[in-house]
Amino acid sequence: MESIKKYVLLLLLWGYGTGTWAIVADPLDSVQWPTMYRAFLSGHPVQFDDRIQVFSPESAENSLRVPIAIRMTGIEKIEKILVLADFNPLPKVLEFFPQQALPFLAFDIKLQQASPIRVAVLSEGTWYVGGRWIDAAGGGCTLPSAGRVQGNWEEHLGQVYARFWEKTPELQRLKIRMMHPMDTGLVSGIPAFYLEQMTLTTADGTPILTLQPYEPVSENPLFTFELPKTLSFPLQLYSKDNNGNTFKAELMP
């Protein structure tokens, strides 16, 4: 708890008697924090919490594909996990609803410039926030996808590649790659075109997890999840993009 307190455990105080939440401080010292709070986190108290871990390189070698992994420990009743990049022109990266999955996710993002990457976890009416800075040469959000450059993206649109493997006797990992250009709309002549929802269910339709990616997720997104081994197969993956295309895949170990 001491390590949490030193990062200013409570970032929002109940409005100095006014009945509204007022922003106080940001341990990452980003000038964008007030904007990020008002745009995405207002309405709930916020506290920074080192139980939320963000793993990434300190410096991005490729701004089109920056690897990120996030994990939460000891936070119960998670309703939603929100990932943000302060200095991206499109700061909302994704929303993750773990449901039966564990609160772990690995993925790649596009970075326009050096930025804090924030992970906000909503639990019982409070946002718990962790994050770290990543240095980047920049330009990741304003470059065309490799598939656009090569002109072959339509041949593979919606294809799914998946792999399961055992992590512990009780836990398995699932890695899913979905072929999609994930265009940001910030490249001249190329409109925004991206996956906007992926839902994983059991064979009888019981939800396991829901993921809502946004434009900053890298082309042909690769996601890694952690799932209990008690799930019955086959699993069903349903996806759709912002142009109304829908995709379905059956996953077996």
Who's near 74: CB < 8 A, 6+ residues apart? 51
What's the structural domain count of the chain?
A: 1
Q: Give me the pLDDT at residue 24, please.
A: 60
d(CA 146, CA 183): 10
pTM as predicted: 0.91
d(CA 119, CA 207): 23
Render pLDDT for 196-233 as a digit per residue (tens, 0 to 9): 999 999 999 999 999 999 999 999 999 999 999 999 99
Owning domain of residue 58: 2-251
Render pLDDT for 42-59 as a digit per residue (tens, 0 to 9): 889 999 999 999 999 999
| Cα–Cα distance list, 188 to 137, 141, 144, 191 (Å) | 21, 12, 9, 8
What's 169's domain CATH number? 2.60.40.2470
Residue 169, both tokens: 């006797």
Angle at 23 between CA 20 and CA 26, to 5 degrees: 160
Q: In the predicted model, is pLDDT for residue 130 greater than 80?
A: yes
